[in-house]
Amino acid sequence: MGRLRLRATGPARPTTVWRRYADLDRWASWSPQIRAVHADGRTLVPGLTGTVESVAGLRAAFTVEAVDHRRQCWTWRVRLGPVRLRLHHEVHAHARGSRTTLLVDGPALAAALYAPLAHLALRRLVRP
């Protein structure tokens, strides 16, 4: 198992970044690897389950473990076949706007392969 931390800082306000996370219908607008999110709800809440559909047509199952709207952080588990990742996201105010961090726990190879796409998504998330 491995742990990987990614960060991105940009001019978007923290409340804007958090809304982009909290609204599942917005995910494809900032995460280029996501085509659609299929779930019973459209807002992040603990216990929410569903699938994330990639632009390649792959579907990864997910369960949201925790959401703290006040602290602007959330955690979810994602499974694609035998690969399982736990991802923890946070949004913070920064002198230049906002900073978002992602902590990925899971198989080191899977985390390393996911890192470039995740980093691109984080940079898009904090753009204006």
What is the number of alpha carbons within 13 Å of residue 62 lying toward its C-beta? 29
Q: Which two tokens stand for residue 118?
A: 């995740």
Average per-residue pLDDT for the chain: 97
Q: Which two tokens stand for residue 89?
A: 């996201």
Average pLDDT on 85-114 reads 97
Rg over alpha carbons for the chain, rounded to the nearest Å, is 14
| Residue 62 · residue 52 · CB < 8 Å | yes
- Which 8-state DSSP code applies to residue 97? E
Q: Which two tokens stand for residue 111?
A: 């985390």
Cα–Cα dist 65/118, whole Å: 19
Q: pLDDT tens digit string along 24-55?
A: 999 999 999 999 999 999 999 999 999 999 99
| Residue 75 · residue 86 · CB < 8 Å | yes
Percent of the chain whose pLDDT exceeds 90: 99
Report the candidate in 94, 121, 76, 91 with the shortest Cα–Cα distance to residue 17. Answer: 91
Could you tell me which residues come within 8 angstroms of residue 94 by beta carbon, excluding any fewer than 6 positions away?
Answer: 9
Residue 77, burial from CB neighbour count under 10 angstroms (0-12, 13-18, 19+)? middle
| Residue 74 · residue 89 · CB < 8 Å | yes
Average pLDDT on 52-63 reads 96
User: Residue 105's pLDDT band (boundaries 50, 70, 90)?
Assistant: very high
Residue 1 has pLDDT above 90, yes or no: no
Predicted TM-score (pTM) of this structure: 0.96
